[in-house]
Amino acid sequence: MLDRPNPTPEAPSNDPHALARALSGAHFIGGRFAPATSGRTFAVVNPATGATVAEAADGDAADVEAAVTDAARAQKEWARVPARKRGALVHQAAQLIRAHVEELARLVALETGKALRTESRVEANNVADIFEFFGGLGGEIKGETVPFGPDVLNMTVREPLGVVGAIIPWNIPMMLLALKVAPALVAGNAVVVKSAEEAPLAVLRIAELINRVLPPGVFNLLSGQGPECGAPLVAHPLVKKVTFTGSVETGKIIYRAAADKLIPVTLELGGKSPMIVFADCDFEKTVAGALTSMRFTRQGQSCTAASRIFVERPIFDRFVAEMAKRVDAMVMGDPLDEKTDIGTIISPGQFDKVKTFIDEGKATAGATGRACSAMPTDAALKKGLFIQPHIFTGLTQESRLVREEIFGPVTCIFPFDEAEEVLAAANDTEFGLAASLWTNNLKIAVTFAHRIEAGLVQVNQNLVVQPNLSYGGVKASGLGKEASLESMLEHFTHKKTIMINMA
């Protein structure tokens, strides 16, 4: 047991409410729980019931100073640990996370409203996979010998950057933490993470678990608001790299702040991902794929959600009808209930934003918005932030629902007749994160995959981010890559050239 008013359990716990209370009111700095310097906290609310389930430490510049200073001290020793041993420790941490998968799944379902069976349990398993994957890559942190002359030994080595500041969002907080923290640690950096205000608990538990394995100070986690906690983290002079996932607007602010320090950044900033369906597709597989692609089980709160679906006209009406039928069959309800397919929107602010888009779409002349699935009837959920998934047809390409990222369970479906027409429509967006193509015509698949402006294109599937596959967008969707060996080497190390004159 750690020395806490409500001690966190050593063994996995299947009571998310008790675990939430035990995690209340603390950051994780220097290998231990620590309250905010100011003593302030903010409420963590279950979006399915409206009930406060915990209090989170409300961090500010003083907490950032403590965490970054401790991380900088610890990083010097951590960098001296052989890379393969660092990887082995990260792999050991992965096994500890795997033993706590069910606990983490229940905790993240409680704080985010994501359904346990369809989303939260999947995310928790992915976290363990990511730490395992990067834990095995320690031996790949190597340099090259470069021919220069017979009397000169010329070589390169990879060195860590120092302290990495990571800022994560609320939609898949554990997985995005893993994608930033695991490669940074294996590469020899120390990390300070600022969690999302809406989802600070499960990632705090991960910080505790990982710190059972790692040296104190190598991995620190803060909670707090963006301007008071996130901004000082980005601006701190000892932070030598920033990695951020979130909105385009916040990404631009971080990019400007990082530019003042001339430090590298990785930015994953969202998308408006097209799904293009040709009439020759496997119809049953494609309709099922549309439900997955739209991330309805995550309430559409995904950067890669297929929020623009283009269907070749011969199968358009059939496709829309079948998709609506299948979404209707999905169950909305208590995120911790195994029967639930769809949980809640994360917060009142996001709820109002999504409702505004839906109302605007329904008020658009010529448009049809189909509300799917049934609202939960349980009285305990009457204050929950539940929104029915909506499928819109008849909108124009100029509609805000088509242009802007809604981050809710809303998709817009359009018919098309010509290949060049649909390609132009798919690329007519400021975003370029992901896309999917559904066809049995190999020539079309390959041609379109090359011509679509996106960092990730999938054919006849639309999986979530996978370890070992480079992931990142173009255009306003961001800078840099995640999830791969490339991301670890290019974004968490720098290359040093060493020349030795032996004459």
Residue-wise pLDDT tens digits, 408-429: 999 999 999 999 999 999 999 9
Q: Map out the domains of the chain as residue ranges.
A: 16-269+477-497, 274-459
* Contact in structure between 306 and 294 (CB atoms under 8 Å): yes
**What Rg value do the Cα atoms of the chain yield, rounded?**
23
What percentage of the chain carries pLDDT values higher than 70? 99
Answer whether residue 65 shows pLDDT above 50: yes
CA distance 92 to 90: 5
pLDDT at residue number 180:
98
Asked, colleague to colleague, whether 16-269+477-497 and 274-459 share their fold, the answer is no
Residue-wise pLDDT tens digits, 250-309: 999 999 999 999 999 999 999 999 999 999 999 999 999 999 999 999 999 999 999 999
174: nearest Cα among 201, 195, 196, 203: 203
Please state, as a whole number, how many other Cβ atoms lie within 10 Å of the Cβ of residue 496. Answer: 11
* Catalytic site includes residue 268: yes
Catalytic position from the list 123, 132, 268, 405: 268
Q: How confident is the model at residue 5 (pLDDT cuts 50, 70, 90)?
A: low
CA distance 239 to 71: 9
Ramachandran area for residue 482 (φ above 0: left; ψ -120 to 50: alpha; else beta): beta
Answer whether residue 442 shows pLDDT above 90: yes
How high does pLDDT run on average in the chain? Answer: 97
- Per-residue HEC secondary structure of 393-414 comes to ECCCCCCHHHHCCCCCCEEEEE
- Per-residue HEC secondary structure of 116-148 comes to HHHHHHHHHHHHHHHHHHHHCCHHHCCCCECCC
pLDDT at residue number 3:
44
Residues 115-126 have a mean pLDDT of: 98
Residue-wise pLDDT tens digits, 329-347: 999 999 999 999 999 999 9
pLDDT at residue number 6:
66
Alpha-carbon torsion, ordered 244, 247, 253, 259, to 10 deg: 40
Residues 303-325 have a mean pLDDT of: 98
| Overall fold of domain 16-269+477-497 | Aldehyde Dehydrogenase; Chain A, domain 1 (3.40.605)
Residue-wise pLDDT tens digits, 371-415: 999 999 999 999 999 999 999 999 999 999 999 999 999 999 999
E strands present in 117-257: 152-160, 163-167, 190-194, 219-222, 239-245
Q: How confident is the model at residue 7 (pLDDT cuts 50, 70, 90)?
A: confident
Residue-wise pLDDT tens digits, 153-200: 999 999 999 999 999 999 999 999 999 999 999 999 999 999 999 999
Residue-wise pLDDT tens digits, 452-473: 999 999 999 999 999 999 999 9
Q: Kindly indicate whether the domain formed by 274-459 is annotated with CATH number 3.40.50.360.
A: no
Q: How confident is the model at residue 1 (pLDDT cuts 50, 70, 90)?
A: very low
